[in-house]
Amino acid sequence: MPPTLLSPPATSEEIADYTPMTQVTLPPLKNSGLAPLIGKTQAELVDLFIEMGHPRFRAEQVHHWLYVKCVQSFDEMLNLSKGFRQHLAERFQIGTLQIASKQISEDGTVKYLFQCADGNVIESVLMYFEERGSYALCVSTQVGCAINCSFCATGKMGLKRHLSASEIVEQYVQVQADSGKEIRNVVYMGQGEPLHNYENTVKSLRILNESCEVGMRRITVSTSGLVDHIDKLAEEEMPLTLALSLHAPNNEIRSRIMPINKRWPLETLIPSLERYLASTNRRLTMEYIMIDGINDQPEHAHQLGQLIQHLKCNINLIPYNPIAKDLPRAVDYKRSSNQAIRTFMMILLDRYHKKVTVRLERGVDIDAACGQLANRFQADKEVLPV
């Protein structure tokens, strides 16, 4: 069954806070050049503090303030002396991201636009799941993305750079602090291909789990199918959920809408998923975007069912969220009809006995399709070659 409707957690005052994009201006750059403490593991903080001549327990206190209390300044670390707080503030900064804007959808989804110290912008999305009574945060792992999926606003930006582990974790810490909500689930489905930024993604996962106390089973990492990194992730002993952005039932369609399929076609991708499942004993999520007339026909549902029937996986159908027409290089795809989605789902359920959900559309009034908000600020900036 598809999940039930998501309840808006936002108050009417918060919704009234909605900032039209035309009124958003980026704040002045804040770049002290000091090293951020967010992004360091507890062991790294202990080593750093001992090196500076401070006892281990000081590092543990700071670790607690950073990741559990999510404070935004050293002055809030109340069990440290004023002198020591000043000493820290002269050498370090908490983090490097600034909230540049916050958009609140009528459905309660909150989209944060962060400005990095170098002026690049990234986005994170806070969602409330009524069924579970919990909040989930979608984080970005790169500025832009090299994968260039034809249906994705971020793919249109190209890759500008990887985010550091600090910048990935800080999205969680800042949204937790700003919203005051207890965020129990984190999904790596924002801008970027998490496994392309492998080392920083894995380090951030460990910090979220060990320092921020987000259960590894409550973390989902999506990938477009980088086979070599899926194999590597299988060895990390992290019981997270891997979400494979499949989006097509055969190589012909997949290569057309996801160029990465030419590098890692289904003949190599599916065996890598088999190895991942064998080694982790977890269940995969297959993400499948529903695009009118492209991949949403009944024969596609049968091809998909046959392709993945043997895999321990759920299927998540995602109605295509059109890229705003005024964005650079927007593609003219349309969302599948409700009838097409229903027929597709019923084939997978009845004939192939797969568990199928339909993802609810979130924040369509606030540019919530992946990368749309940040894309507006990146359009005139230099893009790295892929």
The site for ligand SF4 (CB under 6 A) is made up of 145, 147-149, 152, 154-155, 191-193, 224, 370
How far is it, in rounded angstroms, from Cα 160 to Cα 224?
Answer: 18
How far is it, in rounded angstroms, from Cα 179 to Cα 297?
Answer: 41
With respect to ligand SF4, which residue has the nearer C-beta, 103 or 224? 224
From the number of C-beta atoms within 10 Å of its C-beta (0-12, 13-18, 19+), residue 366 rates as: buried
How far is it, in rounded angstroms, from Cα 206 to Cα 274?
Answer: 24
- Contact by Cβ (8 Å): 168, 221: no
With respect to ligand SF4, which residue has the nearer C-beta, 164 or 197? 197
Give the number of other CB atoms < 10 A from CB of residue 205.
24
The backbone torsions φ and ψ at residue 251, rounded to the nearest 5 degrees and listed phi first, read -65, -35
How far is it, in rounded angstroms, from Cα 150 to Cα 72?
Answer: 38
Residues facing 303 on adjacent strands: none
From the number of C-beta atoms within 10 Å of its C-beta (0-12, 13-18, 19+), residue 260 rates as: buried
CB of 234 to ligand SF4, least distance (A): 20
CB of 109 to ligand SF4, least distance (A): 18
Helix and strand numbers (H, E) in the chain are 13, 14
How far is it, in rounded angstroms, from Cα 347 to Cα 352?
Answer: 7
CB of 147 to ligand SF4, least distance (A): 4
Burial letters for 295-326: b for 16+ Cβ neighbours within 10 Å, e otherwise?
bbeeebbbbbbebbeebebebbbbbbbbbeee
With respect to ligand SF4, which residue has the nearer C-beta, 94 or 145? 145
**Active-site position among 70, 123, 167, 287:** 123
- 145 catalytic? Reply is no
With respect to ligand SF4, which residue has the nearer C-beta, 88 or 221? 221
How far is it, in rounded angstroms, from Cα 93 to Cα 325?
Answer: 39
- Contact by Cβ (8 Å): 66, 38: yes
CB of 196 to ligand SF4, least distance (A): 8
Q: Contacts for 27-32 with beta carbons within 8 Å, 24 or more apart? A: 27/98, 27/100, 27/115, 29/115, 29/117, 29/119, 30/98, 30/117, 31/96, 31/117, 31/118, 32/93
**What token pair was written down for 43?**
């062991």
CB of 226 to ligand SF4, least distance (A): 9
With respect to ligand SF4, which residue has the nearer C-beta, 6 or 331? 331
With respect to ligand SF4, which residue has the nearer C-beta, 149 or 356? 149
**Active-site position among 149, 152, 212, 370:** 370
CB of 88 to ligand SF4, least distance (A): 36
How far is it, in rounded angstroms, from Cα 204 to Cα 234?
Answer: 17
- 123 catalytic? Reply is yes
CB of 156 to ligand SF4, least distance (A): 8
- Of all residues in this chain, which one has the CB nearest to ligand SF4 in the complex? 155
With respect to ligand SF4, which residue has the nearer C-beta, 36 or 158? 158
Give the number of other CB atoms < 10 A from CB of residue 140.
28
CB of 341 to ligand SF4, least distance (A): 19
With respect to ligand SF4, which residue has the nearer C-beta, 174 or 191? 191
**Catalytic residue positions, numbered:** 123, 370
